[in-house]
Amino acid sequence: MSSNKIIFKNDENLNKIELDIINYSNKLIKSLNVPENTDLISRKYEGGIKIWECALDLIQFLPKIYSKSNLTNFNVLELGCGHGLPGIYFLLKKSNVTFQDFNKEVLENITNNYIIQLKDKYNLDYLKNADFISGDWKEFKSNKKFNIIVSGDTLYNIDNYEKIFNILYNYLEKNGVAYFSTKKFYYGVGGSSGEFIYFIESKNCFEINKINEINDGISNIRLSLEIKWKIIL
C-alpha cells in the first residue's frame, strides 16, 4: 500500500473520516506462529493480516452505490474480513455490521482495533454496532439475516465455494444483495471468478452479475460480482 491512511473519500458524508493503517504484522505473525511473507497456511492462517487489493476495490466501489443511501439499522456481513475496511465503511453508515474471519486473532488485534481507533478519534457512539464471528465458514451461524453481504479476495479456494453458497442461501435476506470483489484468476491456488460464477449459477437460486472490472495492466484483472436471489414469477 502506498499510503498508510484510508480516507473514505467517495462518500460525501464520510470524506472527513480517516483511518490510520497500523502495521500489526510482526506481533501477529509471532502470535500465530506464521513464517514471514506467508499468505496462507491452510486451516491455520488464511491471509487476514494483510490488506488485499479487493478490499480496497470495495471501498472505492461501494460508495458509488451507497453514498447517498441511508443504511441505518441495515444488517451487513463482511465475510473473510481481515482488516474489515468494507465492513467499516458500512459501520460508518450506521449499519449493524458482523465482521467474520477465520482467525480470531485478526478480528481482535486488527479489525476491532480500527473500530476503537475511530470511536476514540471521532467520538462515534454508533460504531458499537459491530459484532465479530471467527472460524471456518463451514460452521458459520448467526441469529440474524443480512441485507448486504460483502467480501474481498475470498474466492481463491474452490473447496470453499459450497460453504460460501450455504452462507448466502441461509443468511441473505430475500431482497438482499451480496458483493464479492475477486481476482479473475488466483494463479497457483485454483479459484477464479469464472469457476465461482459457474458454481453459483449451477445452484439455480441466485443471479450473479459482473458489475465492475479493473484491468490496470499492472496486476491481475479484478472484478466485483453482484449476487441477488432469483425472482420466481
Ligand X SMILES: C[S@@+](CC[C@H](N)C(=O)[O-])C[C@H]1O[C@@H](n2cnc3c(N)ncnc32)[C@H](O)[C@@H]1O
Q: Which residues bind ligand X (CB under 6 A)?
A: 46-48, 51-52, 54-55, 80-83, 101-103, 136-137, 152-154, 160
Query: Rounded to the nearest whole angstrom, what is the least distance from the CB of residue 152 to ligand X in the complex?
Result: 3
Comparison of 24 and 137: residue with beta carbon closer to ligand X = 137
Cβ(138)–Cβ(53) below 8 Å? no
Q: Which residue sits closest to ligand X, CB atoms considered?
A: 80
Query: Rounded to the nearest whole angstrom, what is the least distance from the CB of residue 162 to ligand X in the complex?
Result: 11
Comparison of 48 and 63: residue with beta carbon closer to ligand X = 48
Secondary structure letter of residue 37 according to DSSP? T
The CA-atom distances, in angstroms, between 180 and each of 81, 85, 124, 213 are 12, 14, 28, 12
Q: Which long-range contacts (CB under 8 A, 24 or more apart) does 47-50 make?
A: 47/82, 47/153, 48/80, 48/81, 48/82, 48/83, 48/101, 48/102, 48/103, 48/106, 48/110, 49/24, 49/25, 49/82, 49/106, 49/110, 50/25, 50/82
Please choose, from the candidates 222, 155, 218, the residue with its C-alpha nearest in 3D space to the C-alpha of residue 189.
155
Cβ-count burial of 16 within 10 angstroms (0-12 exposed, 13-18 middle, 19+ buried)?
exposed
Number of Cβ within a 10 Å radius of residue 172: 22
Query: Rounded to the nearest whole angstrom, what is the least distance from the CB of residue 49 to ligand X in the complex?
Result: 8
Comparison of 120 and 213: residue with beta carbon closer to ligand X = 213
Comparison of 11 and 46: residue with beta carbon closer to ligand X = 46
Comparison of 74 and 179: residue with beta carbon closer to ligand X = 179
Query: Rounded to the nearest whole angstrom, what is the least distance from the CB of residue 55 to ligand X in the complex?
Result: 3
Please choose, from the candidates 4, 47, 5, 43, the residue with its C-alpha nearest in 3D space to the C-alpha of residue 29.
47
Comparison of 125 and 169: residue with beta carbon closer to ligand X = 169
Query: Rounded to the nearest whole angstrom, what is the least distance from the CB of residue 182 to ligand X in the complex?
Result: 10
Cβ(45)–Cβ(34) below 8 Å? yes
Query: Rounded to the nearest whole angstrom, what is the least distance from the CB of residue 84 to ligand X in the complex?
Result: 8
CA distance 233 to 231: 6
Query: Rounded to the nearest whole angstrom, what is the least distance from the CB of residue 70 to ligand X in the complex?
Result: 26
Comparison of 83 and 93: residue with beta carbon closer to ligand X = 83
